[in-house]
Amino acid sequence: MKSIPAPSVNPENKPFFDAAGKGKLLLKFCNDCKRFHHYPRALCPRCFSGKTEWREAKGTGAVYTYSVLRAVADPYCIAYVTLDEGVTILTNIVDTDLDKVRVGMKVKAVFKPAEDGAAVPMFAPA
CATH architecture assignment, domain 14-125: Beta Barrel (2.40)
Task: Find the length of the chain.
Answer: 126
Going by C-alpha positions, the residue among 60, 65, 68, 9 that lies closest to residue 39 is: 9
State residue 2's pLDDT score: 72
Helix/strand/coil percentages in the chain, nearest 5: 10, 40, 50
| Residue-level pLDDT at 59 | 97
pLDDT at 119: 94
Where along the chain do its domains lie? 14-125
The mean pLDDT values, 10 residues at a time, for the chain of 126 residues are 84 94 96 94 94 97 97 94 97 97 98 93 97
Predicted confidence at residue 56, as pLDDT, reads: 97
SS3 40: coil
Per-residue pLDDT at 1: 60
